[in-house]
Structure 1
Amino acid sequence: RFLDPIFFGDYPREMREMLSSNLPKFTSEEKRLLQNKADFIGVNHYTAIYAKDCISSPCDIKTYEGNAMVQAVGERDGVAIGRPTAFHGYYDVPEGMELIVRYVNQRYKNTPVYITENGYSQLSDNSMEDLMNDVGRVNYLQGYLTCISSAVRKGANLHGYFVWSLMDNFEWGFGFTVRFGIYHVDFETQERTPKMSGKWYRDFLTGSRPVDQAQTLRADS
């Protein structure tokens, strides 16, 4: 709902009620100028989580989730929402991709959507064999691309997809401890080598490997 001012000129009533003075107020002229000013919407999407109502447990209102009066959790009744990844709290939940694309399209007047980031993390201290034979990342990409395809077939106005990332790099507060790249980078020599996922993604883009061929990897992993 944080995009609402750009498309509708103001935040939704529920946000006004919960956050009151924390939100900026707009004049009638500002609301008019704000509306429908986006050419496209960029979505960074890595995972899905459950939203637990804060009625049953206290919320930290200084967090994004706390502002919405919910607590973000990765499990329900002791069962994880999806396969965990190296990034704490990030799970492999491909169906979330289709849901978010369709939701954004429906709420924001079918504005074109680009998936500007989507990727899978590994711990850097894994063995070189595990880093290069990144079956988990192949399965992740296969699942998310399959759900993107499903969304498009159902009418989603999706214009592009960008995997995160081409190469292992410096990941903000996590530094070099996690890797998202489909190319392995030796940070000492800067040598770059395609991982299994890089080769799979190349074949997928050139049409020599249909997206559903990764299912075999998922079943065997």
Structure 2
Amino acid sequence: MVIDAEVCENQAVLCVRGEIVYGAVEALGGALDRLPAATDSIVLDMADVTFMDSVGLRFLQELDDFGCRHAIPVRVINWRGQPRRVMEFAQQDRTGATDRDEPVDEPAAAFTAGNGATVFSAVALERAEAVDRLSEQVQQLQQALASHPVIDQARGILMAAEACTADQAWDILREASQHANVKLRQVAATVVSSIEGVAMDEPVRDALKSALARSRAARVRKA
């Protein structure tokens, strides 16, 4: 995390970049201590903060404590992304509702005292959502792995029937899947079932015919 400080007409603007995690409180304390004695207000700009864990609570408390000690107002602006969602949860718990279309721009004190549990729960929720997304991706990969045998069988059937390569057989299945608007695994299962005399569904059958015709024409042109 990096804090860039700029003072204009006795107002200090602290721009935070990176993640507010372990060590961020100490970094903020150092930046505050280096401000000129004549500083009469502080604005903390969070626009470039990408992530904030439970350390963010102590980070904001450090800013608020500094303002109280020196009797100067402090503001925190430009909440975005994950840090903003953490603060929205905190605001919602305090008021019972929050308007997500309005930017969060309030004194740091409004988001510090008494909201520790909210910040912890909001960060936990953020991570739980990430775990859910990963679980969904794993399920998709598992489904893809499970579909490989039938797809490989269908490719083998097409390679034997059409005297084509494995890549060409794959292209035929993929094109038929797109034109029939069904999953590739379903097209492959249809090809495998057809060997056992099971009739193909008309959309899949027509899509396969078109894909086979284009594949044959392409192979003739290359010959």
- TM-score, length-normalised on structure 2? 0.34
Greater helix percent: which structure? Answer: 2
Larger radius of gyration: 2
